[in-house]
A and B are shown apart, each in its own frame.
Chain A
Amino acid sequence: MSKTLLNILLSILLLVPAQAVIFNNLILFNVAVPLVFIYVIVSLPVTLSTNVSLTIAFITGLAVDIFGDTQGVNALACTLLAFIRKPVYHLYMSIDDDLAGMRPSLRTMGYSPYMKYLLTMTLLYCFAVFAIEAFQFHNFGLMLLRIICSTAFTFVIIYAIDSLSIRQRQREKKL
């Protein structure tokens, strides 16, 4: 258990500054923003209690908010994402599959269910973030474009990160 928490903490400490310094500057055509730090929330173990995952998500979101000067936008969206994480997971995986207590990833879920799970989570998050921002601001067409482009961009980068970690594990096995 403590090893899992340590892993999560490490991923937060790695991804939040990376988001602030690198990914926030990687904006394509002023519409596609890679919100890579949600990998922290997406890859939380399924058996982790909702209370703990809500807390982790809120802290992660708040940290990103502080770096990005977006007062509460990401904190709110992360809380929402952590809350609907389990229902989304069970959309694509049956209940029995999560007893192993693994983190959702390509390796543990398989190719197609993980793609669907990741895409749904990314889309929901981008929708939440841009809707919350647009709540204070009226620009509907641009908002829609940003949601779609950001979802695609974020999806690709998180998928790449996840497959990288698979390859590393396989290499460790070989050794």
Chain B
Amino acid sequence: MNELILFFRNNSKWFMFIIYVVISCMLLFQHNPYQHHIYLTSANAVASGAYGLGSEVTSYFNLREINADLNARNAALQSEVVNLREQLDILQEKNYTDTMVTDSTMQHFRFIVAHVINNSVSKPYNYLTINKGSNDGVKAEWGVIDQNGVVGIISNVGPHSARVISLLNPNFRLSCKVKNSDGFGSLVWDGKDPSIALLEELPRHTIYHKGDTVVTSGYSAVFPPGLPVGRVITEDQNRKENFFTLKVELFADFTTLSNVQVVVNNYRAELKALEAGEKEEEEENIKNPFKQ
């Protein structure tokens, strides 16, 4: 017994070492970012407090570019409003009957404005922290966009802050398509350049040209369809495989992110329930296929 205690005491540094290595590895190999504990992410009170203080100072640094971006966006929206108003006038003039259908897709969505207080672009797995949390109505798995395009998806929510899985994180795949074409693929970051991502698994028949806009497909409840994401920079080429990959230059500048909007889907619960119901039905059919 004494020898055993002596053995443990003499080799205590090895045991300590092994214990710490095992704990670190347990953290390291917890791959699903949604399962990270709130205290171990940057959305906890201490970290978000420190980042909040830091961003109080640094948020002024990029204001010039952000202003330019906002102005450009503003101009685009303004022209869109004018165009739509004209169209509306024309339609009304034509005395289109009262059954006229307006484009209602955007009415499902509401936006919460938030401020980025922590951001990284150089790690293999990047995350952001924003200064809105559950007290402001933010929930996990909601989308985040900025004035230029898609930014990420919320993974962990604290009372006053939330952690966002950045688009620059291979854990996050975004369903996208080339504008004005029907084939869709998934957008994923390859870990190299923070301004370029890959649009993978596009079907062979998809038509694209260099410079085409890539938009969200809307095949999920997270992002509304048609949100701009990036621009195709791969040259036109012959394709031999059934699926191919495009290089996409992202519209959102992740190095100067400042103000973002959280996308709130008002019909999300309904959609989820519907999908869950479908899944159950499917499982039932698999279990007893001869029920009917």
Residues of A within 8 A of B (CB): 17, 20-22, 24-25, 27, 30-31, 33, 49-51, 54-55, 58, 61, 65-73, 75-76, 79-80, 83, 132-134, 136-137, 139, 142
The listed residue (A49, A71, A80) touching B28 by CB distance below 8 A is: A71
Determine whether the beta carbon of B26 is less than 8 Å from that of A54: no
B36 near A71 with CB under 8 A, answer: yes
Contacts of B192 in A (CB 8 A): 139, 142
Given contacts A54-B20, A139-B192, contact A66 B122 (CB under 8 A): no
Compute how far the CA of A137 lies from the CA of B16 in the bound complex, rounded to whole angstroms: 29
Q: B10-26 interface mask toward A, CB cutoff 8 Å, 1 = contact, 0 = none?
A: 00110011001101111
The B116-151 residues at the A interface (CB cut-off 8 A) are 118, 120-125, 127, 129
Interface pair B42/A67, CB less than 8 Å apart: yes
Give A165 to B90 CA distance when docked, in angstroms: 75
Q: Which residue of A lies closest to B126 (CB)?
A: A69
Closest CB pairs A-B (n = 9): A72-B27, A76-B24, A72-B28, A21-B54, A69-B127, A50-B13, A137-B124, A75-B24, A79-B20
Q: Are A72 and B44 in contact (CB under 8 A)?
A: no
Shortest beta-carbon distance from B156 to chain A in Å: 9
CB distance from A63 to the nearest CB of B (A): 9
A107 to B28, CA, bound (A): 38
Q: Please report B residues at the A interface, Cβ cutoff 8 Å.
A: 12-13, 16-17, 20-21, 23-30, 36, 39-42, 44, 47, 50-51, 53-54, 58, 118, 120-125, 127, 129, 163, 170, 191-192, 194
Apart from the given pairs A50-B17, A66-B40, 13 other A-B contacts in the complex at a CB distance below 8 Å: A20-B47, A30-B121, A33-B122, A49-B13, A50-B16, A66-B41, A66-B44, A69-B127, A71-B27, A72-B23, A75-B20, A75-B24, A137-B125
**A70 contact set on B, CB distance < 8 A:** 123, 125
Bound Cα distance from A20 to B129, whole angstroms: 12
- Cβ B28 vs Cβ A137 within 8 A: no
